[in-house]
Amino acid sequence: MKLNFKNESGRTILYVNVIEKEDGEGWLKAMVCFNDYGFSAIFEISLMLNDLYAFVDQLKPFQNSLTGTASFSNIEDNINVTLSSDGLGHVEINGMLQHTHDPDLKMLFVIKSDQTFLPELITECDQILQHYQPK
């Protein structure tokens, strides 16, 4: 199950692929994949369900108003992505990725996008949360 962050032409530049539940404490194992114009990064991270709950709680009002920001990050600071808008439908995704085993290995990026990918991103978040919620 993936979270897809897309550019203005609808191409996925960054995705977070949730692979499995790590334990009963709400931890998930995921792969982060970034690929834009031949520049790529792929590495594994751990995140918590609470990271996704916090993101979707910001993402839904952001989609409705196109004001403010919506941020997704994990507690270990391997991923930090912030969505912002000009209020006219253009969305900018500012991000930082940091390798799990080498904190000196990191990248900063900006993805120019638009509001059209937001409903799908919210659906993806909701599906992951529903699938992995504690039983």
Q: What are the structural domain ranges in the chain?
A: 2-132
Segment 12-63, tens digit of pLDDT: 999 999 999 987 688 999 999 999 998 999 999 999 999 999 999 999 999 9
Beta bridge partner(s), residue 41 = 34
- The CATH class of 2-132 is mainly beta
| Integer Cα distance of 105 and 93 in angstroms | 20
The whole-angstrom separation of Cα 93 and Cα 111 is: 5
How far apart (Å, rounded) are the C-alpha atoms in residues 128 and 17? 10
In this prediction the pTM is 0.92
| Cβ atoms 5, 109 nearer than 8 A | no
